[in-house]
Structure formats: structure tokens, C-alpha cells
Amino acid sequence: MGFIVLLAFIAVPMAEIAVFISVGDIIGLWPTLAIVVLTAFIGTYLLRQQGLGVLREIETRINQGDVPVQALFDGACLLLAGALLLTPGFITDTLGLLLFLPPVRHYAGRLILHHFTIRATRRQGPSYQATVIDGEFTHVPQQDLPENRDRSE
């Protein structure tokens, strides 16, 4: 894993420089720099807009007693998107803008969940077997429970 991170720290800047040079050759230096600065402003605006919405969603879910897993994941994606858009470069800007799209975040979440599910299954190994307990139950209304009958009498 460490090797992949090191490779990314070397490969991404090299790719960004190559794209900068190519775009600069096509449209010129100043328009290229203007696009990079513009995407930083757009990223800041989108982060503020969508970030506030995600914070409200998290607050609503917590107030309802739910665990806001999806909203927390969206918030993490938005933070990453903002960081990518503030990083100069066309590749990082493209990835950052894509993370602002809810369908992309949803797909990324499913991929990550799938990845961790596979890893968890592999760790359990072939000897893992679920314990199944077969049984029957009867629903007893709350007021019919013995501790509640004594209070009502």
C-alpha cells in the first residue's frame, strides 16, 4: 500500500505537468492559468453550497436518532473534492468536480463498501460458518408485560 501511495505522489504531479504543457501549447499560458484559478473558485463555491446541505442532513439524521453514514461519506467526498480543486492541475480538478456529483459519490461509496466487504470476507477465511438459531417468538404488547401491569393497577 505504501508503494502505491509513493507512486501516486510521483505520477500525479508528472501527469499534471504534462497536461499543463499540452493545454498551454493549445490555448496559451494565461488562459491555462485562468482556468486553474477559476476551478479553484468554482470548487470553493460548490463546497460551500453542498457542504452546508450535507451538514444539515447530518444534523437531521442525528436528531432523528439515525446514524448518518451516507451523509458522512458525502461530507468526506466533498472535503476531498475541495482539496482536489484547490490543488493546481487539470486531472485533480476533473476528479474534484466529479466528486461534487451525487451519482459519482454514490457509485464511489458502493465500490468502497464492496471492497471492504470482500476484504472482511477474506479475513474470516474458509472455516467461517454462520451460527443459525432456529426459533419461534410471540409478540407481547408493551402494556401486557408484567412490570407494566403492576403500575396500571
Number of other residues whose CB lies within 10 A of the CB of residue 57: 16
pLDDT number for residue 20: 93
Report the C-alpha dihedral over residues 116, 117, 120, 121, rounded to 10 degrees: -150
Helix 2-27 and helix 90-99, axial crossing angle in degrees, nearest 10: 110
Supply the pTM of this predicted model: 0.70
Per-residue pLDDT reduced to its tens digit, 67-123 = 888 899 999 999 999 889 888 899 999 999 999 999 999 999 999 988 888 877 776
How long is the chain? 153
Q: Is residue 47's pLDDT more than 60?
A: yes
Q: Average model confidence (pLDDT) for the chain?
A: 86
Q: What are the residue ranges spanned by the domains of the chain? A: 2-126
pLDDT at position 78 is 92
Burial class (CB in 10 A: 0-12, 13-18, 19+), 93: buried
* Predicted pLDDT of residue 125: 58
